[in-house]
Amino acid sequence: AQRVTQPEKLLSVFKGAPVELKCNYSYSGSPELFWYVQYSRQRLQLLLRHISRESIKGFTADLNKGETSFHLKKPFAQEEDSAMYYCALSGHSNSGYALNFGKGTSLLVTP
């Protein structure tokens, strides 16, 4: 079964502190993983995908197949990082490769 787990509903950190949003997955095969961000009342937008290994807005994420994890990290959080973050896994062809989303983690960065 394909599943994405984000164990934290809410994560609150101070500005300048490091932040790590956890994501674990279960998938049979080679996973395609993504992080999406949703700012207040806006559409979801892609933050990172594991295949590109980019760093966007200071965020990075490493795929750890042994631990089946894809945690999102940023060394110094900014107030503008406050948003909802979703980890997503691309499904199999029998679901049209639809993204399976975790329940999301709300990140609040306070001054």
Partner 1 sequence: NAGVTQTPKFRILKIGQSMTLQCTQDMNHNYMYWYRQDPGMGLKLIYYSVGAGITDKGEVPNGYNVSRSTTEDFPLRLELAAPSQTSVYFCASRATRNTEAFFGQGTRLTVV
Does the footprint of partner 1 cover residue 104 (CB under 8 A)? Answer: yes
DSSP, residue by residue, 21-60: E--EEE-SSS--EEEEEE-TTS--EEEEETTTT--BTTBE
- Residue 52 sits at the vertex; the CA angle it makes with 50 and 58, to the nearest 5 degrees, is 80
Partnered with residue 74 across adjacent β-strands are: 19
56 binds partner 1 (CB under 8 A): no
The nearer residue to partner 1, 49 or 74, going by C-beta atoms, is 49
- Binding-residue total with partner 1 (CB under 8 A): 23
19 vs 23, beta carbon nearer partner 1: 23
With CB under 8 A as the contact rule, which of the stretches 17-25, 54-62, 66-74, 98-106 interacts with partner 1? Answer: 98-106
Q: Does 108 bind partner 1 (CB under 8 A)?
A: no
